């Protein structure tokens, strides 16, 4: 959730070192997306906006492509789209990349996608109601919205410390449940599931978790299989060279499995909201 990614997002394409925090986050996110796709028989997926506060841009939906889903990504930065296209080609996954200047109008047909979703990206759109109205227009079954956990200590601390930068680059009010839920209800969407997610044994801070653990003399908790000289990245897994990557990251999911929901509100990094269309009344 660290604000610096706004400035240094290009670096991740060169180093591919996302750190342990983002690497764990991606595996947990993939589990959620796989479950939703299976339950609702999802085949065509739109991710928009694709740019959020985490590591390498444009790969949140890559695991769904690996599982055979048709993926479309929309971004407002043409330079980033070129870099994303290169990365997807290297991994040999098909993807449809589209450009939208401000997300007020999405360049896709009505009811084109089974599912539309975004991850820590909602606060980048120019107008929330216009954007969600567009998602309603192009989506048939499921809309998934994932936002930072606003009650987590990492989010609160970074919001206070980076107040000026947040006000400049994002709209914090867009990620309030009361704000987007009201619009979703008015558009005819029903919230059927919401849960805190991404709950590893480290706080949501703008620092590499390897460095954080060492500062607190907790390095023994980290994955000894991660080569610090190469960094941690899910990209080797997507290239078919590291099939054990998800299992290694899941060594850190004890809190994810055992922590009560009420305590997750003070530790989990993200909160997801899953919507389906309301039944048409007779």
| Pairwise CA distance, residues 6 & 94, whole Å | 26
DSSP secondary structure letters along 87-109: HHHHHT---EEEE-SSSSS-SS-
The tokens describing 1, both together, are 């959730």
Task: Give me the mean pLDDT over the 58-72 stretch.
Answer: 98
pLDDT at 129: 98
| Pairwise CA distance, residues 228 & 182, whole Å | 45
> What are the pLDDT digits (tens) for 186-225?
999 999 999 999 999 988 765 555 555 454 444 444 555 4
Q: Cβ–Cβ contacts within 10 Å for residue 13, how many?
A: 16
Q: What is the mean pLDDT of the chain?
A: 89
| Pairwise CA distance, residues 193 & 146, whole Å | 12
The tokens describing 25, both together, are 């986050």
pLDDT above 90 coverage of the chain, percent? 76
**Contact indicator for 105, 133 with CB cutoff of 8 Å:** no
Looking from the CA of 148 toward its CB, the CA atoms found within 13 Å total 27
Say yes or no to pLDDT of 230 above 60.
no
pLDDT at 177: 98
Find, among 21, 22, 272, 3, the residue nearest to 147 by Cα: 272
Give 23's contacts (C-beta < 8 A, 6+ positions apart): 232, 233, 234, 245, 249
**Contact indicator for 16, 233 with CB cutoff of 8 Å:** yes
Say yes or no to pLDDT of 94 above 50.
yes
| Pairwise CA distance, residues 82 & 95, whole Å | 12
Say yes or no to pLDDT of 226 above 80.
no
Distances (CA, A) of 7 to 3, 4, 32, 55, 82: 8, 5, 29, 12, 17
| Pairwise CA distance, residues 32 & 48, whole Å | 17
What global pTM score does this model have? 0.91
**Contact indicator for 189, 136 with CB cutoff of 8 Å:** yes
CATH topology of domain 5-277: Rossmann fold (3.40.50)
Label residue 49 exposed, middle or buried (CB < 10 Å: 0-12, 13-18, 19+).
buried
Q: Which residue has the tokens 């769904």?
A: 64
> What are the pLDDT digits (tens) for 112-128?
999 999 999 999 999 99
Can you name the residues that pair with 145 across neighbouring β-strands? 118, 273
**Which of 6-10, 26-30, 100-104, 221-225 has the lowest average pLDDT?**
221-225
């Amino acid at each position: 959730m660290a604000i610096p990614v706004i400035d240094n997002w290009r670096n991740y394409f060169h180093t591919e070192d996302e750190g342990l925090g983002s690497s764990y986050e991606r595996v947990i996110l993939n589990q959620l997306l796989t479950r939703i796709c299976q339950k609702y028989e999802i085949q065509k997926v739109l991710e928009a906006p694709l740019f959020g506060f985490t590591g390498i841009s444009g790969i949140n939906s890559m695991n769904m492509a690996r599982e055979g889903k048709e993926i479309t990504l929309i971004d407002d930065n043409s330079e980033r789209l070129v870099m994303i296209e290169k990365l997807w080609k290297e991994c040999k996954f098909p993807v449809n990349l589209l450009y939208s200047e401000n997300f007020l109008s999405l360049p896709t047909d009505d009811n084109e996608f089974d599912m539309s979703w975004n991850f820590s990206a909602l606060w980048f759109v120019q107008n929330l109601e216009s954007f969600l109205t567009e998602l309603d227009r192009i989506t048939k079954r499921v809309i998934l919205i994932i936002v930072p956990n606003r009650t987590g200590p990492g989010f609160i601390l970074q919001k206070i410390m980076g107040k000026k930068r947040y006000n400049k680059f994002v709209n914090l009010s867009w990620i309030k449940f009361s704000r987007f839920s009201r619009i979703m209800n008015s558009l005819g969407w029903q919230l059927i599931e919401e849960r805190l997610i991404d709950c590893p044994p480290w706080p949501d801070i703008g620092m590499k978790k390897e460095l954080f653990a060492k500062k607190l003399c907790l390095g023994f908790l980290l994955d000894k299989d991660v080569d610090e000289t190469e960094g941690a990245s899910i990209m080797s897994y997507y290239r078919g060279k590291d099939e054990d990557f998800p299992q290694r990251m899941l060594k850190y999911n004890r809190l994810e499995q055992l922590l009560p929901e009420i305590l997750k509100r003070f530790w989990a990094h993200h909160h997801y909201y899953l919507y389906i269309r309301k039944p048409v009344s007779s």
